[in-house]
Structure 1
């Protein structure tokens, strides 16, 4: 599911540039240009992140966030502002911001900050000569990238996260698109051939990676 961002920015050119960039990165963006519009949006929808300019019509970004925090809305917030005085920056963090970017800035800088907050942290699993990233689904064997199918990916991740444990067949069957004992045997055989993993059949129970 796409992460939802509420973007409050009254500079239309900058707002559209940021909106286009974030949409291209698969974020769901709601763009508003006034404080009141932002308030209405927060009533109607739940967001994963707020990106607020400070000097906007109706109600400032600072006042807006302070009101949201008072209403127990703890959505992570990034301010983007031309205000560079220490008082404004201090106020931004005091009312509950997690980050503050001074204008002008490269749109990609905002994207980096957003990704750091919203994207899951990469998790590498290393086992013998195998390196597998459970977020990107990137598999390396002996340092070389290897492509495997989605079913094998699911099985691989399950085995790597449960080393030396016997996995019940019913759990493994959930990894298959069309579950059956025969399909499971075929999928595990293919996984062993592709990766060289020592997956043991524990008769009558399931399988184990040792």
Structure 2
């Protein structure tokens, strides 16, 4: 029995090694997918901060997060998100830009999202539903009843069902994990400027 298990494991390992060899020419695609997923996330966040920069500074300061040096902090966050989106799109300095982007995610997690629990969208049936999420169910039901009585509910919901934003850490943690993966993977073979710059540099130093 133990011999059969060993042989099965060896066969499976050999198949996986062969599969790895087959997909090697396109092994940069997962990194590309992560980068392109994150580009609009950080671009939108940065542009929203920039479009109302005075409000962003106030929110970073006494009117919101209570962080020291709010102008500097807001500038760093906005600049990191916008430059991060551009560099991720190009696959340039992918590992390096992932580090300050991770810092922005950590700041967001601990200063904004953590008190709200895990879930980004309040869903009573989802795992890690805290009391805040459980109470949201009654509120969304009351809102639906008001809209059905006083509005065109079919039109109001034609673009999707109403939901309560819980603003938990779910999305921020997801982005952080993706950035950690990019630190390990880099921009991706063949699909990033990093890869081609590295090839040119290696040829030049020879």
Using the size of structure 1 for normalisation, the TM-score is 0.23
Higher relative contact order structure (alpha carbons within 8 Å, sequence separation ≥ 6): 2
Per residue, is there more helix in 1 or in 2? 2
Per residue, is there more strand in 1 or in 2? 1
Using the size of structure 2 for normalisation, the TM-score is 0.24
